[in-house]
Amino acid sequence: MLSSACLNPGSDRGPEHDGGIDGIDSAGECSGDAREPNDLPETAIDLRWDSIVALDGQQEAALMIDASLCSGDHDWYLLPVAELGFDFHVVRIDGLVRGASWCGQFDGCDGEVLPDAPENTLVVEVYDAASMVLLAADLATNGRVDVDGWGATFSKDLVIHVYGPSNVASYAYELHVDVRSRDSEDECQC
């Protein structure tokens, strides 16, 4: 299954600030983003769905986060999955460091591929919001993270933790979050 992120490469989106993107100014200085402070689980930002649709027996909810991380920064988000009330939950979270593209990893699909490097390292962790038990995680050194989960464990509210483990990891990033009522293939076959 390919995500909708392959249709929206990370390198062509996002608001500009002082000649920079998403809290990184033109001199490379990081000022954070509009969601700060969300550096602890207790200060997790409540997310809202961009869309909730039902089509051909499948329900789907989606949202996109455009944010930035400064060196040593941690971002926490509360994902309201329980309110959806879907019969079966498939959760997919695609993370992209600014400049990376999901399409770049596929033959014949244009897009940037960042080199494996500390400054391109991104970690996304998903926790059960009530118990703070870690449910899924991914770390990528090339700026592309993919976290998936399904079933009853992912039908409750979730907390998403985003950080760069290196002290040189300062960048804008996107998270594409998709929750479906059943697992099926996307029509995007980049």
pLDDT category at 152 given cuts 50, 70, 90 is very high
Q: pLDDT at position 98, please?
A: 87
Task: Give the list of residues 6+ apart from residue 13 with CB closer than 8 angstroms, or none.
Answer: 66, 174
As a whole number of angstroms, the distance between CA 28 and CA 25 comes to: 5
Taken in order of first residue, the domains within the chain and their CATH numbers are: 38-180 (2.60.120.380)
The mean pLDDT value of the chain amounts to 79
Q: pLDDT at position 39, please?
A: 82
Q: Which residue has the higher pLDDT, 168 or 13?
A: 168
69-100 pLDDT per residue, tens: 888 889 999 999 999 989 888 999 999 998 88
As a whole number of angstroms, the distance between CA 95 and CA 123 comes to: 9
Q: Which residue has the higher pLDDT, 39 or 46?
A: 46
Q: For residue 155, which amino acid is it?
A: S
Q: Which residue has the higher pLDDT, 146 or 56?
A: 146
Q: With DSSP H G I counted as helix, E B as strand and the rest as coil, what are the percentages for the chain, rounded to 5?
A: 10, 40, 50
Task: Give the list of residues 6+ apart from residue 99 with CB closer than 8 angstroms, or none.
Answer: 10, 11, 112, 114, 143, 171
79: how many CB neighbours lie within 10 A of its CB? 26
Q: pLDDT at position 3, please?
A: 34
Q: pLDDT at position 47, please?
A: 94
Q: Which residue has the higher pLDDT, 74 or 31?
A: 74
109-131 pLDDT per residue, tens: 666 778 888 989 999 999 999 99
Structure tokens at 23: 């809290």
Task: Give the list of residues 6+ apart from residue 6 with CB closer than 8 angstroms, or none.
Answer: 102, 103, 106, 109, 188, 190
Instruction: Indicate the pTM of the whole model.
Output: 0.78
∠ CA(54), CA(55), CA(56), 5° rounding? 135
Residue 111, by phi and psi: left (phi above 0), alpha (psi -120 to 50) or beta?
A: left
Mean pLDDT of 162-175: 89
Residue 16 has pLDDT above 50, yes or no: no
